[in-house]
Amino acid sequence: MQPTIPHPMIPQPVFPEAAEQKNYLNEKYGAWSWLMTTDHKRIALLYLLSITFFFFIGGFFALLIRLELLTPAGDLVQADTYNKLFTMHGMVMVFFFLIPSIPAVLGNFLVPMMIGAKDLAFPRINLLSWYLYIIGGALMMHCMLTGGVDTGWTFYTPFSTGFTNTKIVEAGIAIFIAGFSSILTGLNFVVTIHRMRAPGMTWSRLPLFIWAHYATSIIQLLGTPVIAITIVLVAAERALHLGIFDPKLGGDPLLFQHLFWFYSHPAVYIMILPSMGVITEIIACFSRKRIFGYHFVAFSSIAIAVFGFLVWAHHMFVAGISVYSALVFSFLSYAVALPSAIKVFNWTATLYKGSIHYDAPMLYAFGFLGLFTIGGLTGLFLSALGIDVHVTDTYFVVAHFHYIMVGGAVMGYLGGIHFWWPKISGRLYPEGWARLAALIVFIGFNLTFFPQFLLGYMGMPRRYYDYSHMPEFQILNVMSTAGATILGVGYLLPMVYLLWSMRRGKPASENPWNAAGLEWKTASPPPTFNFDEEPVVTWEAYNYDELDAPHKEEVPVAK
Amino acid sequence: MQNEAGADGLTAVHEHHGEAHAAHNPALLHHFAAPEQQRDAASLGMWVFLATEIMFFGGLFCAYLVYRRWYFPSFAAASKSMDAGLGATNTAVLICSSLTVVLAVWAAQTARRTLLIGSLILTMIFGLAFLGIKGKEYRDKFEEHHVPGVSFSFENVPVPGHPGEYANPRHAQIFFALYFVMTGIHALHMIVGLGIFAWLLTMSWKGRFSPQWHTPIEIGGLYWHFVDIIWIYLFPLLYLIDRHA
C-alpha cells in the first residue's frame, strides 16, 4: 500500500535543479562518511535512527505487558519475566529513548541553525556523545539478551544491592555511559547558545525552542552526574559489599532514594521541556502569531528547571521521610505547577484570535496541550499528601507519568519531527496520512491510559502480573490493551510514510510553512555549513505579522 | 583538545570560505568566526564540565555528611587511624603541582619553551608522587584490615576524647567505604589528568603552542586545579576529624 494523498494546503514549488544542489545529505556518501561525521545534522540523523530502534524495543516490552494484563490470571509470562519486562521497558524508554529523544535529534539538528551558527561548539564531542550512547545501548541490549534486570527502573536498594541476582551492574554501567552522552549533549548546547549566536541574535530574539533546550541542558549537566555517582555506589556496593546503602551494615536505603530521585525527578523535565519548546514553535507558526508573553514562556522554562531540582522527595512520601519534609516537598511540588501553567495559558492566549491551521504538527500540538494538562493536573493530585498515600504504587501513578512522558514528550517529539521533516529530508510528508496518524495516536493514547487512572483510583497496584483476585478490573485492562494496539499502529504509520516520503515525497521549498526562524532561511535540506553566508538578525522572534504582510512598508499609511 | 580536527576542518574552510580568514591561524576551526570565539567556547566548555564534576563529587560529599553526622564518634576514631603525615605531604605535593601548572600557562603565553616543558614535566612528577604516596596509604590500610569487606576489622578502637568508648566497627566500615570510593575516584581523575598532561607535553615538544594559541594548556590546567581543589576538601574531611581530642 502506498500513501498517495497529496498535500492539500501548501503550494508546491518544484525546483528541478534542487536535487543536484549540494546539501548535508549528498555532500559525501558511504557509511564511513556518516560514522565519522562531525556535522550536527548528520549526527542528529544517527540519533534519530538509534533512538527509533530503542523506541520499538521498549514498545515491544510494553506490548507484552499489556498482553499479560489482558486477562486477570498470570497466564502469558512468569512472574519473574513480568518483573523483567516492566523493568526493561522503563529503562529502555527512559534512558535510551525519552532522554535523548528531542534534544539529541531535533535539538542537535536545530540548535545551531536556529541561532545562525555553522555547527555546535564542539562537533567532535557531539559525535563522541553518539558513540557513548551506542556503547551504552549495546551494553543494555547485551544485558537484556542475557537475562535483564528485575528491580524496576528505579534500582531501589537494598533489593538491587543485596537480593536480586539479575544483571544490575551491567545495566548500571550501560546507564552510566548513556548518562555521559546526555551530559556532553547538554554541555555542547550551553556553550553553543552562549558563544555561537549570529550577530543580532540577542537572548530575547532566541526562539523559545532554544530557551527550552537551554533549561534542559542545565538539568542534564547538574542532574546526570548525581545519578552517575549513585550508580557507581550501587555497583561498588554490589561488587565489594561496601554497605553504604545497606541497613544490615549501618547504611541507609533512603539515602539511595534521595540521590536517585535528585536526578530522576528532574529527568522528567529533561523529557518534557524540549517538547514544550517544540510545541511553542508549532503553535506560533500555525496560529500565525507572535507567541503571547515571550519572556514569561522563556523564563518559565528556567523556573521549571530550577524548581525541578527541589521536589524530588515527593517520590518518597510513603518511604519513611519525616512529615515535615514531606510537607515542604508537597508544597514545592505544587510550585512547579506555576511555570507549567504559565506556559499552558500563554499557548492558549497565542491561539486566541489566531489564524489557526490544522496541519499535522498542529494536531500533535493540540494533543500535547490536552494531555499535558491532564498529566500536570493529576500531578497535583499526587503532590497532595493525602491522595498520594492513597494511590501510591497504583495505576494512577502509572497513568499520570505516561500522560506526561508519552502524552506530553512523545506527542511533542512527533509534532516536531513532522514540522521540521521538510527541512531534515528536503521532502514533504503526505499530509493526509500524517493527520490520520496524529488522530490515531491521540485516540489510542487516551484509550490506553485513561482507564489506568480509573484502575489506579479503584486500587489496582502497579507491577502485578496477576489480578485474578480482582476480576472486575478486567474490563478496564482490556480497554487499555486495545488502546495500546491502536497506539502501536499510530506509531508505526509515521515510520512508513516518512520513509516513503524520503524518496517519493514532493521536494520541499526553503520554507514550506512560511515559518519564522533562521532554520527556514536556508535550503531544504541545508548545506553542510547551514548558511551560505553568515546571517545577521534584525528582526524579533516570531515576526509572523511581518511574514504574512511582507510588503507592509510599501502600503501607504493613512494619515 | 581543539587542534587536531583542524586538519580536516581546514580543507573545508578553504573550499567554502576562501583562504581569507583561515590562512593566518591554522588552529582555527571552520565553524568559529574568530580565534577569540573558539577560545571562549573551549574555556566555557571546561568550566561547565567542572560544574558537572562538582555535582558528581557532590553526591559523595552528601553521603559523607549524612553518615558523619549520624556516626560521628566512629568517624572520628576511623579518621584518627589515617596517616595524617602522608595526607599532609600529598596536600603539599598537589599545591606545588598547581604552581607548576600556573607556570606552564604563563610560559605558553610568553613563549618560554624550556620553562613550559619543564613545568609540564614537574607537574607530572608531582602527580605521580601523589599517586605513589596514595598507593602506600592504600597498602597500609589493606595490611591493617581497614578495607571494607569480609576481612574488615576495627575492634576496640577508642573514640578520641571519650575514654572508655569504642568505635562501632560497622559505622567505621562506612567511613572506610566512603574513604576508598572518594579517594579512588579522585585518584582516577589524577590518572586522567596525567594522560592529558602527557598529551600537552607531546604537543609542547612539537612546538604546537604559541602565545596566540595555547587553549589546551589553559583548559587542561583548569582541570588539574579542579582535581587539586577536590583533594583540598577531601584531606580535612577524611584525615582531620576531631584530631585535637
Rg of the Cα trace of chain A?
24
Q: Confirm whether B153 is domain-assigned.
A: yes
B162 and chain A: CB distance < 8 Å anywhere? no
Coil, strand, or helix at residue B125? helix
Residue A466 and residue A72 in contact, taking contact as beta carbons nearer than 8 Å = yes
Q: Based on the domain organization, do B20 and B128 belong to the same domain? A: no
Residues of chain B where predicted confidence (pLDDT) is lower than 50: 1-23
Predicted pLDDT at A275: 97
pLDDT at site A162:
85
Q: Which of residues 23-62 of A touch B (CB under 8 A)?
A: 38
Q: How far is A177 from chain B (nearest CA, A)?
A: 14
Partner A contacted by B125 (CB < 8 A): no
Judged by CB atoms closer than 8 Å, whether chains meet at A195 and B40 is answered as: yes
Tell me, what CATH number does B174's domain have?
A: 1.20.120.80
ipTM over cut 0.85: yes
Q: Cα distance from A145 to chain B (closest Cα, Å)?
A: 30
Could you tell me if B12 lies within 8 Å of chain A, comparing CB atoms?
Answer: yes
Distance, CA of A272 to CA of A216 (rounded, Å): 9
**Cα–Cα distance for residue pair A287/B145, rounded to 1 Å:** 71
Q: Do A123 and B171 touch (CB under 8 A)?
A: no
Is residue B244 in some structural domain? no
Per-residue HEC secondary structure of B131-163 comes to: HHHHHHHHHHHHHCCCCCCCCCCCCCCECCCCC
CB-based contact, B18 to chain A, within 8 Å: no
Decide if B55 touches A, using CB distance below 8 A: yes
Q: Does residue A428 sit at the B interface (CB-CB below 8 Å)?
A: no
For residue A228, which residues of chain B lie inside 8 Å, CB to CB? 56
Interchain CB contact of A128 with B (< 8 Å):
no
| Domain co-membership, B87 together with B16 | no
pTM reported for the whole predicted model: 0.92
Please tell me the predicted confidence (pLDDT) of residue A82.
Answer: 96
Whether residue B90 lies inside any domain: the answer is yes
Domain assignment of residue B146, yes or no: yes
Q: Is A556 left (phi over 0), alpha (psi -120 to 50) or beta?
A: beta
Note whether residue B162 is domain-resident.
yes
Grid cell of B224 as nine digits: 588539574
Residue B59 lies in a domain: yes
Question: Residue ranges of chain A with pLDDT lower than 50?
Answer: 1-6, 8, 11-13, 16-18, 555, 557, 559
Phi, psi dihedrals of residue A397, rounded to the nearest 5° = -65, -40
> B63, B42 in Cβ contact below 8 A?
no
- When scoring B10, B30, B31 by the number of chain A Cβ atoms within 10 A, the one with the most, hence best to mutate, is B31
Q: Rounded distance, CA A351 to CA A341, Å?
A: 15
Instruction: Say which of A119, A240, A243 has its CB closest to residue B31.
Output: A119
- Chain B positions touching A224 (Cβ under 8 A) are 52
Q: Are residues B66 and B158 in the same domain?
A: yes
Q: Give the contacts of B11 (CB within 8 A, at least 6 positions apart).
A: none
Domain count, chain B: 2
Considering only CB atoms, B59 lies closest to which of A119, A194, A229, namely A229
Tell me which chain B residue has its CA closest to the CA of residue A112. Answer: B31
Residues B19 and B41 in one domain: no
Answer yes or no: do B14 and B57 share one domain: no
Range of the domain at B21: 1-31
Per the domain annotation, does B203 fall within a domain? yes
Q: Does the bond joining A525 to the residue before it have cis omega, within 30 degrees of 0?
A: yes
Contact between residue A116 and residue A172 where contact means Cβ atoms under 8 Å apart: no
Same domain for B49 and B164, yes or no, is yes
The rounded distance, in Å, linking the Cα atoms of A171 and A88 is: 10
Q: Are residues B82 and B13 in the same domain?
A: no
Taking the CB of residue A227, how many other CB atoms lie within 10 A of it? 27
Q: Do B8 and B106 share a domain, yes or no?
A: no
Residues in B closer than 8 angstroms to A124, CB to CB, are 5
Q: Is residue B40 part of a domain?
A: yes
Q: Which of B40, B150, B177 sits opposite A244 (nearest CB)?
A: B177
Domains of chain A by start residue, with CATH:
42-541 (1.20.210.10)
Shortest CA distance from B177: residue in chain A = A242
B23 and B123, same domain (yes or no): no
**CA torsion B79→B83→B84→B89, rounded to 10°?**
-140
